[in-house]
Amino acid sequence: EDQVTQSPEALRLQEGESSSLNCSYTVSGLRGLFWYRQDPGKGPEFLFTLYSAGEEKEKERLKATLTKKESFLHITAPKPEDSATYLCAVQDEGSWGKLQFGAGTQVVVTP
């Protein structure tokens, strides 16, 4: 069965203190790996899709990378507005529409 594990569960950063979030996954074949951001009381907001090992995507202070077993979301010089829960999800090659989500990493950035 597909599994998605995110670590750490929570992360507290000082403004400007760069760090990385991890998403490890087990699937029979990867169709895509997705990163979402979720603010309290809101639905998740799409950030990135990665399809193959070695692929990287960037958006402002965020950079996502992918290997055959895990993905990293790097947050460079974070600001308080980067505080959110970051969710990782995978689509298995046998899946038609279903995404398997991890439990998320809650990030708090303090001034």
Partner 1 sequence: GAGVSQSPSNKVTEKGKDVELRCDPISGHTALYWYRQSLGQGLEFLIYFQGNSAPDKSGLPSDRFSAERTGGSVSTLTIQRTQQEDSAVYLCASSLRGGANTGELFFGEGSRLTVL
> Is residue 91 a contact point for partner 1 (CB under 8 A)?
yes
**Does residue number 41 form part of the binding site for partner 1 (CB under 8 A)?**
yes
Q: Among 86, 102, 107, 109, which residue interacts with partner 1 (rule: CB under 8 A)?
A: 102
CA 35 – CA 40 distance, rounded (Å): 17
By CB under 8 A, residue 49 contacts partner 1:
yes
Does residue 83 touch partner 1 according to CB under 8 A?
no
Q: Which CB atom, from 13 or from 34, has the smaller least distance to partner 1?
A: 34
